[in-house]
Every structure is written in C-alpha cells, then in structure tokens.
C-alpha cells in the first residue's frame, strides 16, 4: 500500500504536510531518520504510516504517559491495534499485554524508556517481529535537552536486541548541540535528517508590559475573538481567572492535572466544539490536542523556557490563519520566575538528604527496598523532617527522572463525601450547629449532586473557600460524619513511591550527581534566555526565537509586537496619542481602560500622555476616577 493511500484511509487527508512524505519514504527505505518538526507539524504520522505499511509491530518510546494514552485511543478508534504499557500495571497485566504484542497482530507498542530496563520487557520484545523503533520527544536523550531523562540512554542498548531494525527520532524543539547528541546517543548510521523551519509566519508574537494583566487579557480576547488558550502557573489560577472571565461575559472553562478524567473530557469537548471560547490551563494542557483554529495563546506568567514557550505558542494558528501568541509581563515577574525555578533547585547534597529521609520515613534498611511500593503523603513528609516543600518536590522529581524512585502523584481527589439526610433535616441541624454553616454551604455550592451520590471532593479547594485551616476542615467533616449528616472517606496519601534501586545512601546518588549539576546549569541558561527574550524590544521576536534554535533569518516578520512598534505608521508620537485622548474625551468622561480600548497605543504611552495632559491642565481626573476635558 502507498503512504498516500494509508493517509486517506485512516486520516481522511489527501495530501501530506511539509516533510512528512520525505520522512516516511526515508523510514520505508530502512534509513535511520531524524525528524525535527514544529508543534502541529504531524510528527506521529511519520512513524505510524510506515509501521502500518510494513509487517510487524512498531515500538514507540515516549516519556509522556498522557500522550501515549491519547495516541493509543486515537489509533483504536481508527481500528488499529495498539497497546500502551503505562504505570500501575501488575506483573500479570504486563505479561498479558506483552503476549498480545507477540501473538495478537498488534501494530503499535507504546512504552516509557524506564520500561525498557525491565528484563521481562526486553525478553518479550526480542520475540516480537519489530518493523520500526520510534523515539518520540527525542530531545530527552540529551543531557543538554529540555527534560533530560537518563533512561533514554538505554535505547541504544535496546537497539542491539533488533540490530537490523531502523529507528526514527522525533522532536519539536532541539538546538544544534542537542540534535548532534540525539544522533550520537541513538547510534544512528548515516542518518537522514529533516528539519522544518521554526518560523511560524502567521503567528504574531508579542510581549505586553502591564500593571493590570486582567485588563490586558480582556482587551486581547475582545479585540481578537476566537478560540483561545490562557496558560497560567498553578491550578488555583486556572479557576480564579476562568471565573473572572466568565463574570466579564466570556465563555471560559479551566483545565489542570487535579480535575477528574471525566471533567477533563467534558471540558475538552466544550472547548474543541466551540461551546467554550477560552481554556484557562496549566502547561500540562495541549499536548496531543489538535485544534486548528486557536486564535490566541496567552501566557499570563513568564514561561519556564523558550523550548516550552515555542511549543505552547505553536498551538495557535495551526490552520495557517493569523493568530497571536502573547506574554503578559509585570515588573515583578522576573523575580517570581527566578524564585520559582532557580531558588528551588535541589543541590546534590539536598537530594542525598531527601533520599536518606525517604528511606528512614519508610524504614528501609541499608541494601534493601528495591521495587518496594509505599503510600506517600508529601505534606506530612516535609513536616516530619522540616523540609522546604518547593525544593523537596524538585528533589523528588530529580530522583524520579533519574530512575532512583518512581513518583506516582494521584491528583484524583480521593476524599469522597455524600450527604445522607434530607434538605429539611440538614437545615434543622445547622440551626443547632452554627459553626458548621460555612463548610456545609461551601460543599453544597461547589459540588452539585452531593446529596444524590458519593462525590469526589478537593480538600484544598474547600480549605481555600472556607478560609479555614486544613486541620479545622477535616475536624468539621469528621463532626458531620459522627452526627450522621454525611458519609466520609478521607484520603490519607497524595502519592505513591516505588524504590527502583536499593538503599545505599550516597552510593545511590553519586552516579547521578553530574547529571543534576548539568541540569541546574541548563535551567539557569533557560531562565536567562526567557528574560532576554521578553526584555528585548528592539529585535523582531520571530528572529529572536529562530536564533535561539540556531536558525538565522534576515527578514523581520512584520507582525510581532517589536515589528509593529518599529513600523513608522504603527508607532504613535506623544502628540498623536494626546490628540487621540482629547478627541475621545470630547463627548464623555472615560477611564484609562476605556481609553486603551479606543486608542492605538501601548499602556505606557497612554499613561505618559495622560500625565502630561493633566500637568498642562487640558484634562482632569473626576471623582469617579475617569478623565474629562477641563
């Protein structure tokens, strides 16, 4: 079967995107192939189509569990047999799935690089008729790549199991040194290299300096209407900003790792089917989601790296039509970025301390503990040993990434509540227990249906809404349970930890010390690059991003915030802005926000002109905090 026939049969497309056909041909000619395609460039098709054409099974190595599941579900919907070896599988389940891959005519086996270390996985893959090895997110193999995963280093050993099978490496973001590292580490022989340009000529990149991000957010969404993603730093912000936008008349919803799978599907459906215009989300959102008509991607906070920013911004304008990717920046944001990502870096000594405390916490003797599974309450652990939560969490992530432990965070609200009395009886009870009024009202207003069925409850959210301490919330819930008002199940852990190596204290950590130091250096470089990008308002933003990824361009994009500011016709003089203000105020008094909507100038230019007009007594500030002509 010809590749275009496979594309039409399974994907209902009649033509390939740039580079796809050349990459597919290279793979079918059994060449080791490197593909660097930008976000939305259709990387998965580059290995899926060759695998479908050839006899046998394709092994897909990916670090992203959520993306694995999405791709497997998508393939199954097309009638293609695929399996993912995700975390949490019992030995029997793993055994059965691997047998299915050998005898069940499956076309794709998705697994993490850590899975390759398991002897049972290596033994069974040896028995499979493998037609291709696909390494997704291949930048993870490089120590200088974003999100380095040491387990990726084992892929070259894995290739020895099937030495005659060619390999394709795919990534969306990799600098030149990282590309060379990938090719070297995967033991490629005369690889065919395909690199699409990082330029996205339809995306207008922008950085807006403002003291009022919420107002600027509204302004962007009103002036450039359409499907939008607003990226924020934490879960609480997704809820607060989505609620704010809804109150302002926008159709918004939110998405983060803490909502249930059912809620994720519902909200994704609402957004992809235009029922909700705006998705406010943490950066976990968007991977594997192919919505072509996103008009705005707005970063409410500074991104962690330009690699991440480029991927997230690239979710805009995949239909080729004009789109915007804008960062909102306050003066204090630079300190926030450094504090969040640099001041919480865990030193090698601190990682050793955390590993030692973990072993003591679970009473693991020296030389033992390998493959043991433990329920883990992060807050209690930090409190027990008086450890800084931010640095401790990063230390755990380092131990996880370096395959010392496996950290499985539940994030599925394992606390469950159901009211077991009638409405009337409840209000009679509250008349006698006034101190419980607040928590009951918060529960009823936050969780519809809590009278009818057992409901998963986010304790942190209840703590925030009641403004009580977590200890008081739990005490009041237990009082309601004791008085037979509710049925209550309280989770006593938020994670699971599996020890992948025996306890040998410093000897366990020393082999990864160099990697930890390298990752710290990389993080400092990434933060410096982000700050350089947002503060450089003299060079075209598209050129800045291209230069970061090693691509040069002599042409300015003409549409980014720098190009527009530098275009003579778009750069208003102070006199012009002042004239526009006076014209706008002729018939009515207006606030600075209302003026910004009406005028074509920046917030800084507006405020400077307003200050000057007040000084020369042409306008005044009214009692209602608006501006009017004197």
Angle, CA of 614, 616 and 622, to the nearest 5° = 25
> pLDDT by residue (tens digit) across 227-238?
999 999 988 899
Among the candidates 195, 223, 241, a domain finishes at 195
CA 486 to chain centroid: 36
Q: What pLDDT does 160 receive?
A: 87
- Write the CATH number for 259: 3.40.50.300
CATH number for position 519: 1.10.10
The answer as to whether 148 is a domain residue is yes
Whether 541 is in a domain gets the answer no
3-state secondary structure of 334: helix
Domain boundary among 435, 465, 489: 489
Task: Give the C-alpha separation, 192 to 190, whole Å.
Answer: 7
Residues 11 and 117 in one domain: yes
pLDDT average, residue stretch 75-103: 89
What is the pTM for the complete model shown? 0.75
Band (pLDDT 50/70/90 cuts) for residue 577 is confident
pLDDT at 412: 45
The pLDDT of residue 99 is 93
Q: Are residues 374 and 436 in the same domain?
A: no
Q: List pLDDT tens digits, range 358-397.
A: 999 999 999 999 888 888 888 889 999 999 998 999 999 9
Of the listed ranges 212-221, 335-344, 409-418, 509-518, the one predicted with least confidence: 409-418
Between 146 and 5, where is the model more confident? 5
Give yes or no: residues 181 and 317 share one domain.
Answer: no
Q: Tell me: do 344 and 470 sit in the same domain.
A: no
- List the end-to-end C-alpha distance of the chain, in Å, as a whole number: 78
Structural domain contains residue 547: no
CATH number of the CATH domain containing 620: 1.10.10.10
Whether residue 184 is contained in a domain is answered as yes
Residues 397 and 515 in one domain: yes
DSSP reduced 3-state for 325: strand
For residues 511 and 374, state if they share a domain: yes
Residues 15 and 27 in one domain: yes
> Domain for residue 531, yes or no?
no
User: Do 285 and 428 have their domain in common?
Assistant: no
- Which residue segment(s) compose the domain that 599 sits in? 572-629
Question: Residue 411: what pLDDT?
Answer: 45
**Tokens describing residue 137:** 């997110």
- Does 529 map to a domain? no
pLDDT number for residue 413: 46
* Helix or strand holding residue 487 (H, E): strand 486-489
Same domain for 250 and 171?
no
pLDDT higher at 153 or 252: 252
Collapsing DSSP states into helix, strand and coil, what is residue 298? strand
Ramachandran bin of 162, using left for φ above 0, alpha for ψ from -120 to 50, beta for the remaining angles: beta
Dihedral in degrees, nearest 10, Cα atoms 183, 318, 66, 16: -60
Closest CA relative to residue 353, chosen from 306, 300, 399? 399
Q: What average pLDDT does the structure give for the chain?
A: 89
pLDDT of residue 140: 87
Question: Residues 203-222: pLDDT tens digits?
Answer: 999 999 988 899 899 999 99
pLDDT at site 91:
82
Q: Are residues 141 and 36 in the same domain?
A: yes
Write down which residue in 273, 308, 330 finishes a domain.
Answer: 330
pLDDT at residue number 601: 76
Structural domains of the chain, count: 5
181 and 229 inside one domain? no
Q: Do 401 and 514 have their domain in common?
A: yes
What angle separates helix 389-401 from helix 348-361, to the nearest 10 degrees?
90
pLDDT for residue 259 is more than 90: no
């Amino acid at each position: 079967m010809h590749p275009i026939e496979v594309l039409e049969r399974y994907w209902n497309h009649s033509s390939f995107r740039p580079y796809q056909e050349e990459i597919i041909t290279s793979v079918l000619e059994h060449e080791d192939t490197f593909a660097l395609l930008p976000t939305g460039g259709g990387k998965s098709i580059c290995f899926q189509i060759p695998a479908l054409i050839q006899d046998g099974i394709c092994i897909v190595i990916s670090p992203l569990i959520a993306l694995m599941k999405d791709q497997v579900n998508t393939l199954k919907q097309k009638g293609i047999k695929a399996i993912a070896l995700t975390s949490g599988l019992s030995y029997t389940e793993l055994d059965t799935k691997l047998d299915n891959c050998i005898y069940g005519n499956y076309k794709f086996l998705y697994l993490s690089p850590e899975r390759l270390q398991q002897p049972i996985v290596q033994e069974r893959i040896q028995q499979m008729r493998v037609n291709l090895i696909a390494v997704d997110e291949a930048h993870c193999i490089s120590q200088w790549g974003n999100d380095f995963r040491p387990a990726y280093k084992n892929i070259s050993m894995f290739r020895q199991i099937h030495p005659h099978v060619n390999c394709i490496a795919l990534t969306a973001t990799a600098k030149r040194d990282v590309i060379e590292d990938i090719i070297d580490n995967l033991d490629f022989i005369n690889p065919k290299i395909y690199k699409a340009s990082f330029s996205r000529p339809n995306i207008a990149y922008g950085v807006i300096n403002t003291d009022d991000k919420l107002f600027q957010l509204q302004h962007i969404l009103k002036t450039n209407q359409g499907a939008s993603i607003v990226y924020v730093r934490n879960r609480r912000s997704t809820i607060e900003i989505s609620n704010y936008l809804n109150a302002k008349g926008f159709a918004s919803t939110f998405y983060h790792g803490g909502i249930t799978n059912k809620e994720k599907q519902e909200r994704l459906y609402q957004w992809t089917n235009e029922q909700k215009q705006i998705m406010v989300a943490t950066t976990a959102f968007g991977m594997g989601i192919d919505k072509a008509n996103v008009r705005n991607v707005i970063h409410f906070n500074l991104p962690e790296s330009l690699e991440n920013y480029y991927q997230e911004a690239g979710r805009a304008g995949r239909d080729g039509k004009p789109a915007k990717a804008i960062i909102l920046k306050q003066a204090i944001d630079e300190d926030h970025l450094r504090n969040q990502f640099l001041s919480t870096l865990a030193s090698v000594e601190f990682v050793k301390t955390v590993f030692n405390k973990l072993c003591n916490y679970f009473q693991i003797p020296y030389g033992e503990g390998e493959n043991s599974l433990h329920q883990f309450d992060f807050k209690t652990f930090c409190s027990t040993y008086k450890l800084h939560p931010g640095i401790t969490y990063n230390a755990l992530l380092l131990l996880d990434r370096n395959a010392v432990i496996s950290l499985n965070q539940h994030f599925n609200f394992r606390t469950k509540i159901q009211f077991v009395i009638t409405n009337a009886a409840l209000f009679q009870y509250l008349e006698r227990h006034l101190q419980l009024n607040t928590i009951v009202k918060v529960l009823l207003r936050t969780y519809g249906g809590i009278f009818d069925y057992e409901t998963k409850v986010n304790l942190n959210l209840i703590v925030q809404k009641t403004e009580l301490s977590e200890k008081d919330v739990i005490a009041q819930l237990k009082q309601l349970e004791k008085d037979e008002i509710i049925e209550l199940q309280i989770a006593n852990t938020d994670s699971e930890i599996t020890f992948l190596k025996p306890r040998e204290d410093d000897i366990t950590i020393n082999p990864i010390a160099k990697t930890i130091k390298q990752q710290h250096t990389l993080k400092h470089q990434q933060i410096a690059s982000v700050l350089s990008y947002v503060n450089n308002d003299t060079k075209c933003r598209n050129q800045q991003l291209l230069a970061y990824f090693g691509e040069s361009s002599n042409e300015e994009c003409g549409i980014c915030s720098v190009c527009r500011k530098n275009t003579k016709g778009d750069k208003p003089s102070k006199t012009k802005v002042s004239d526009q203000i006076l014209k706008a105020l002729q018939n009515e008094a207006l606030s600075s926000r209302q003026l910004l909507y009406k005028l074509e100038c920046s917030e800084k230019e507006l405020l400077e002109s307003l200050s000057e007009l007040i000084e020369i007594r042409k306008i005044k500030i009214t009692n209602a905090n608006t501006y009017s002509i004197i």
